Amino acid sequence: MLVVCLVGAAGLLCVPAQADDRRFTLSVYSAAMGREIPVDIQRAAGTSRPRPVLYLLNGADGGVGEANWNRRAPQALDFLADKDVNVVQPIGGFTSYYADWRAPDPVLGVNKWQTFLTEELPPVIDEVLGANGFNAIAGLSSSGASVLQLAIAKPGLYRSVAAYSGCAQISDPLGYAFVNVVVAQGRGNTVNMYGPQGDPMWAANDPYLHADRLRGLHLYISNGSGLPGPHDTLDGPFALPGLDGLANQLTVGGVLEAATDHCGRNLQARLTTLGIPATYDFHPVGTHSWGYWLDALISSWPTLARGLALPE
């Protein structure tokens, strides 16, 4: 697609030359990270009035490889296409947890994703898309924790938050181990993220510990149990390819989902104790894989829509 690059107050960005194209990519400059960030857009079908925005985050992949919404569950965008909402997917942040890291990492570089997502990107999106200021955010796996932390870090930016198979309790031994597994996939070092285990930065960025600051949001929390379910079949549309792929989905995906299920139920107990309402969608089956995350996104739409003042 032909694009036109402009320099504005928010930095360098590129907009489509053809205004009737609904899907396009912006290039948004992040001063915090010193580089341009691609941002995939699916514009709302109608533009006669300002529309709300759903920020749709990928998991550890960050949208740069194969394990992301565009590659593994494009049906999500098809589902959202008639929902009168602008869908925004930042591309990048591989194994970063979309966090502001305390130091540059020798492998992963400078990561200031919280600043980008909460400070730098929203004004660009609002200007380019003519958005109405109503925002929601959804994320899966590692970004299931990120979306909660982003909402805590920037009160008022999001009205709805959906977390699929996430582990919010990042500073306790289970959550810390989960973060380290994710970051190690990118050969990064979590010491450069929040410091060594026990550093106060871990607790400061733990959504479970600061769950009281989620009050007033429309919240959706989902998880499977880790046991095989309907999407865990050989050559199924969401299965990893071949016998080895299915075996990985059942074993690794099963263990990961069982761990995040434990986290999700802990978060439920914490929010209940705090008197904060949320919609919970816990299933007796399901592994850490895309078919279930697509199901969760579809199931979460009524919760997301309420915050966006859209029909459920």
Give residue limits of the domains in the chain: 3-308
Mean pLDDT of the chain: 94
For residue 8, what pLDDT is reported?
Answer: 46
CA distance 183 to 243: 27
For residue 19, what pLDDT is reported?
Answer: 44
The correct CATH number of 3-308 out of 3.90.420.10, 3.30.750.200, 3.40.50.1820, 3.40.50.300 is: 3.40.50.1820
Over residues 174-225, the pLDDT tens digits come to 999 999 999 999 999 999 999 999 999 999 999 999 999 999 999 999 999 9
Cα dihedral value 211, 213, 218, 222, nearest 10: -20
In one-letter notation, the amino acid at residue 63 is G
For residue 230, what pLDDT is reported?
Answer: 97
CA distance 4 to 8: 13
- Please state the pTM of the whole predicted model: 0.95
For residue 76, what pLDDT is reported?
Answer: 98
In this prediction, residues 243-255 reach a mean pLDDT of 96
In this prediction, residues 84-102 reach a mean pLDDT of 98
Residue 277 vs residue 14, higher pLDDT: 277
Residue 285 vs residue 5, higher pLDDT: 285
For residue 239, what pLDDT is reported?
Answer: 87
- Residue 120 is classified by DSSP as I
Residue 18 pLDDT more than 50? no
Residue 107 pLDDT more than 60? yes
For residue 21, what pLDDT is reported?
Answer: 80
